[in-house]
Amino acid sequence: MRTLTELDKKILAKLAPELEGTTGPAPGHDYKFILLPVSHKISESPEDFAARINKLTDDELGYIADMILSGEEDSRSLADGDFDALVEVMEKRLPDKAVKLKER
Residue 64 Cα distances to 27, 39, 69, 74, 98, angstroms: 25, 14, 9, 10, 11
9: nearest Cα among 38, 34, 37, 40 = 34
Indicate whether 2 pLDDT > 90: no
pLDDT band at 4 (very low <50, low <70, confident <90, very high): confident
Helix and strand totals (H; E) in the chain: 6, 0
pLDDT for position 85: 97
Domain regions of the chain by residue span: 6-18+31-103
pLDDT recorded at residue 19? 77
Q: Which comes out higher in pLDDT, residue 55 or 30?
A: 55
Q: Is the pTM of this model over 0.85?
A: yes
Q: What is the mean pLDDT of residues 27-37?
A: 75
* pLDDT over threshold 50, residue 90: yes
Q: Look at residue 3 in the predicted model and tell me its pLDDT.
A: 84
104 CB-side CA count, 13 A: 21
CA distances from 87 to 20, 26, 61 (A): 25, 30, 11
* CA–CA gap between residue 55 and residue 48 (Å, rounded): 11
Cα distance between residue 14 and residue 32, in whole Å: 17
Q: What is the pLDDT of residue 30?
A: 64
